Amino acid sequence: MDWPPIKKSPSSWRLQPNLIDYQQTCADFSWDKVRQELDGLPDGRGLNIAHEAVDRHAAGAGQSQVALRWLGKDGQVKDFTYGDLKAQSNRFANVLKTLGVGKGERVFSLSGRIPELYFAALGTLKNISVFCPLFSAFGPEPIAQRLERGDARVLVTTERLYRKKVSALRSSLPKLQYILLADIDQDQDASVLSLPRLLAAASAEFTIPPTDPEDMALLHFTSGTTGKPKGAVHVHNAVLTHYLTGKYVLDLHPGDIFWCTADCGWVTGTSYGIIAPLTHGVTNLVDEADFDAERWCRTLEEQQVNVWYTAPTAIRMMMRSGLKLREKFDLSRLRLVHSVGEPLNPEAVSWGQENLGLPIHDNWWQTETGGIMIANYAALEIRPGSMGRPLPGIEAAIVHRLAEGKIELEEQADCEGDLALRVGWPSMFRGYLHDDERYRNCFVGDWYITGDLAQRDADGYFWFIGRADDIIKTSGHMVGPFEVESVLMEHPAVAEVGVIGKPEPLIGELVKAFVALKPEFEASEELRLELLGFARKKLGSAVAPKEIAFIDNLPKTRSGKIMRRLLKARELGLPEGDISTLEQSQ
């Protein structure tokens, strides 16, 4: 099915969007102008993310505005104003200072979404130490590996997580000097300390030291979808991208309630679960609980969320749950819905229209890019299945790699190639930790080669084809798994699909789909044949899957990405490789 574009008109706007004239905004753009919309540290002492996110609001009328609304698992609600957040992050910065932890040193976190995590993140940035969040459901090995590779000096965690996942491996981590436990009142020994005690003893005043915009601020490990996770280094200047995308993509307005559902263990949970909304002085909602379709809808309603940033996997789970959203919940406050992390099937975009009353806006970026690079915008037409257009200030292109480390820019529309970004945007990663060669190999001349394949249409919309590693070569065709998955998703029985190429001597690779069914459908030979026929009719026999297997759940990363490499390894009986980010139940 060809999905018609979703047009927007001023009459459909609930609030005038920040970005209306895309061409003009791109033409007038300069990063210097964005910098002028921010504060900078007093007396020209540089640029610090935490100052832009918190202190500049706390210094003015924003002081009593709620910065963080925290929803506990058990129904507790805690509000922290910008003034509170300033004081708490100052305290945390003073704790680090007292412990002798300084510039560039790594402060890791390993916890659920508890308020202390947010104080620690912002306090670490204030101290110009480097914040590195880990996902709390990791097992001991992946945690130890990351702490080791990231040169962790401090770890902020909880007693249970420490005991269960870290303490046994402490001896292999000689650089890890302090463990700050968020839920004990008394220190356990000279290195395992009570964070509440330290915070209470610390001053709520802190002067952020001079911060060079190029000072290292964040260390994020990638999702490990395609292999061993890499540690991407980001600097304070990244806040320009966080702010700008908050303005143009998330379309934040004063008074907004914003909810990003990503965990801080992933880059989305930091760039958009902490920094971007705060740079706009809005209220950032944090839910401690994990996904639950009913709870999430209730949260959207009760918390009167205006802008919601989530992921395709959550949207697909909501689709699977069969909840009649608009009949059951009042979602009238919701103005804009965004999704990131994986391709968003057109089916999901239109599900949003029917069930949320709003289309879902897809956007694309990576751990390496530090912020959203390609997006659909509130005021502009959506083409379902497209990631949208580059953020003003970002130059994206389709390129072809040539021999001798050269590339050729693709000028024609609708041609497939490597998605590349012209270097120089503020949140570009500045390195892969301890892997310079790999970092260098990502660049050719002025271009960063993303590792994803895409095409651009005549109007400048980008369409995701697949990760370079996942592309299937079958009978001389290049097939992107997303195209095949999106078509199967249109079948009423299908909840989720992962598509791989399976080596086959005659045709190179054979397209194989793994299908998870909606709960009301049962796997049967009849249904398998029906799906094969359904796909063949829509895709043609060259591209349609030749094999379909039913599977209860697809293997996914903990950030919700389908791990096609694992489907393939299992299919072929090959080693599974690094599975540190695999969801436990898989």
Q: Which stretch in 99-107, 135-143, 364-372, 433-441 sits in contact with ligand ATP by CB under 6 A? A: 364-372
Neighbours of 379 (CB within 10 A): 18
Give the up-direction half-sphere exposure of residue 445: CA atoms within 13 A in the CB hemisphere: 14
Of the candidates 168, 165, 116, 178, which has an alpha carbon nearest to the alpha carbon of residue 137?
165
Does the footprint of ligand ATP cover residue 452 (CB under 6 A)? yes
Name which of 70 and 447 has its Cβ closer to ligand ATP. Answer: 447
**Smallest distance from the beta carbon of 105 to Mg ion, in angstroms?**
26
Residue with tokens 């007693």: 159
Count Cβ atoms within 10 A of the Cβ of residue 193 and give its class: 0-12 exposed, 13-18 middle, 19 or more buried: buried
| The pair of three-digit structure tokens given for residue 93, joined into one six-digit string | 């910065």
Binding interface with Mg ion (CB under 5 A): 222
- From 42, 102, 227, 405, residue interacting with ligand ATP (rule: CB under 6 A): 227
HEC assignment per residue over 214-257: CCEEEEEECCCCCCCCCEEEEEHHHHHHHHHHHHHCCCCCCCCE
Q: How many residues belong to the site for ligand ATP (CB under 6 A)?
A: 25
**Which of 320, 323, 242 is closest to 277 using CA atoms?**
242
Asked if 223 touches ligand ATP (CB under 6 A), the answer is: yes
Smallest distance, Å, CB 561 to ligand ATP?
A: 5
Q: Interface with ligand ATP includes 470 (CB under 6 A)? A: no
What Rg do the C-alpha atoms of the chain give, in angstroms? 23
How far apart CA 331 and CA 238 sit, in angstroms, is 33
Q: Which residues pair with 448 in a beta bridge?
A: 421, 443
Q: Name which position in 243, 309, 351, 364 contacts ligand ATP (CB under 6 A).
A: 364
How do beta strands 406-409 and 396-402 pair? antiparallel
d(CA 539, CA 545): 9
CA distance 328 to 385: 28
Residue range at the interface with ligand ATP (CB under 6 A); choices 15-23, 65-73, 127-135, 448-456: 448-456
Indicate whether 222 belongs to the interface with ligand ATP (CB under 6 A): yes
Determine, following the binding rule CB under 6 A, whether residue 362 of this chain makes contact with ligand ATP.
yes
215 binds, among ligand ATP, Mg ion, none (CB under 5 to 8 A by kind): none
User: Under the criterion CB under 6 A, does residue 486 sit at the interface with ligand ATP?
Assistant: no
| Residue with Cβ nearer Mg ion (153 or 565) | 565
Which CB sits closer to Mg ion, 222 or 306?
222
Q: Please, what is the Cα angle at 121 between 119 and 125, to 5 degrees?
A: 115
- Pairwise CA distance, residues 489 & 545, whole Å: 13
Work out how close the CB of 565 gets to Mg ion at its nearest, in angstroms, rounded to a whole number. 12
**Between 312-321 and 346-355, two packed helices, what is the crossing angle to 10 degrees?**
60
Q: Which residue is nearest to Mg ion (CB)?
A: 222
243 in contact with ligand ATP (CB under 6 A): no
Q: Closer to Mg ion at the Cβ: 112 or 417?
A: 417
Using alpha carbons only, what angle is made at residue 75 by residues 112 and 164, rounded to the nearest 5 degrees?
Answer: 30
Q: Is residue 350 close enough to count as binding ligand ATP by CB under 6 A?
A: no
User: Of 157 and 226, which has the nearer Cβ to Mg ion?
Assistant: 226
The nearer residue to ligand ATP, 343 or 426, going by C-beta atoms, is 343
The number of beta carbons lying within 10 Å of the beta carbon of residue 111 is 24
Q: Give the nearest distance from C-beta 421 to ligand ATP in angstroms.
A: 11
- Report what 227 binds from ligand ATP, Mg ion, none; CB cut-off 5-8 Å by kind: ligand ATP
For ligand ATP, give the closer residue by CB, 225 or 299: 225
According to the binding rule CB under 6 A, does residue 561 interact with ligand ATP? yes
Dist CA 423 CA 440 (whole Å)? 12
Give the nearest distance from C-beta 451 to Mg ion in angstroms: 6
DSSP designation for 209: P
Shortest gap between Cβ of 410 and Mg ion (angstroms)? 22
Q: Minimum Å distance from CB 352 to ligand ATP?
A: 14
Residue numbers at the binding site for ligand ATP (CB under 6 A): 222-227, 229-230, 340-343, 362-364, 366-367, 387, 450-452, 464, 467, 559, 561
